[in-house]
Amino acid sequence: MIDWFTDPYQTQFMRHAAVTALLIGVLAPTIGVWVVLRRLAYLGDAMSHGTLAGVAGAYLTGISITIGALAAGVTMGLLIALFDRQRRLGHDSAIGVAETLMFATGIVLISRNDRIGVDLTHFLLGQIVTTSTHDIIVNSALTAVALGIVAFTFSDLRNVTFDAGHARQVGIPVGALRVVLIVLISITVVVSLGTVGLLMSVAMLVTPAAAARLVTNRIETMTAVAVAIGVVSSLGGLTASYHLATPPGPTIALVTVACFAAATIATLPRRRTVP
């Protein structure tokens, strides 16, 4: 049985893949807690799609993929803020329009170059087994920065998420924290690029945190449970994909959904009794 878990990691590329899976397994659920509590799952999904424009643009211009993806995330956040100024539109409509613009731009850029089209499928669906040492260093640095920001702003994030009006009253920079959250989602999407891919990154962002929300009523515990689910899902999914010869990204995503299903079933009787 132990061999089933250890066999895949005899080679260096699989060990690299495991480190990358671990990073996203910790980072995405930590950020995902705030995405779930603020009911921004659609924003997370849209950000992952919109990042395609930045990745494609980076390929065409030769700049760093990481910088291109982060720039796309920030641009998307600014576009949403701009469209949000139309008071007759809901926030979801603003997100939808910004997503359409960025995702369509990415597709158009891809169509300009056949070579990009082949490489970008790696980013859409993830290509965790091709992770290099350089990727690990960059992703580790991004993860450390993002986790540091969350730790630094943790209580302010909680106060803003619960009662933004009071947060503004006591001097918490509500608008700045909204931008910070968008940047954190962008970083998560960037780190997801090489693992579960852009299209599946929302699975790591939302599903572990959503499962954790079902089983706990404290944000600190919710974060710990979400990270545990994220790590188990990413490493378990990677191992399973090796044995089952399935794509790692979607396999990891399916394991997160299995954890969510287990949490749902486990809490069903309890939640039925809650009025």
Give contact residues for another protein (rule: CB under 8 A).
37, 87, 152-153, 155-156, 158-159, 161-163, 165-173, 213, 216-219, 222
111 vs 155, beta carbon nearer another protein: 155
With respect to another protein, which residue has the nearer C-beta, 39 or 243?
39
Nearer to another protein, 122 or 158 (CB): 158
Residue 34 CB, nearest distance to another protein (Å)?
12
Q: Which is nearer to another protein, 206 or 222 (CB)?
A: 222
Min separation Cβ 39 and another protein, Å: 9
In angstroms, what is the minimal distance from the CB of 89 to another protein? 12
CB of 246 to another protein, least distance (A): 35
How far, rounded to the nearest angstrom, does the alpha carbon of residue 249 sit from its chain's CA centroid?
Answer: 12
Q: Is 178 exposed, middle or buried (0-12, 13-18, 19+ CB in 10 A)?
A: middle
Separation CA 18–CA 210 (nearest Å): 24
- In the bound state with another protein, the residue whose beta carbon lies nearer, of 34 and 59, is 34
Nearest distance, CB of residue 35 and another protein, angstroms: 14
Nearer to another protein, 64 or 169 (CB): 169
Shortest separation between residue 223's beta carbon and another protein, angstroms: 10
Write down the least CB distance from residue 165 to another protein, Å: 5
Q: Which is nearer to another protein, 16 or 213 (CB)?
A: 213
3 state SS of 246: coil
Per residue, the 3-state secondary structure of the chain, as one string, reads CHHHHHHHHHCHHHHHHHHHHHHHHHHHHHHHHHHHHCCCHHHHHHHHHHHHHHHHHHHHHCCCHHHHHHHHHHHHHHHHHHHHCCCCCCHHHHHHHHHHHHHHHHHHHHHCCHHHHHHHHHHHHCCHHHCCHHHHHHHHHHHHHHHHHHHHHHHHHHHHHHCHHHHHHCCCCHHHHHHHHHHHHHHHHHHHCCCCCCCCHHHHHHHHHHHHHHHCCCHHHHHHHHHHHHHHHHHHHHHHHHHHCCCHHHHHHHHHHHHHHHHHHHHHHHHHHCC
DSSP for residue 107: H
Of 11 and 86, which has the nearer Cβ to another protein?
Answer: 86
Q: How far is the CB of 94 from another protein (least distance, A)?
A: 16
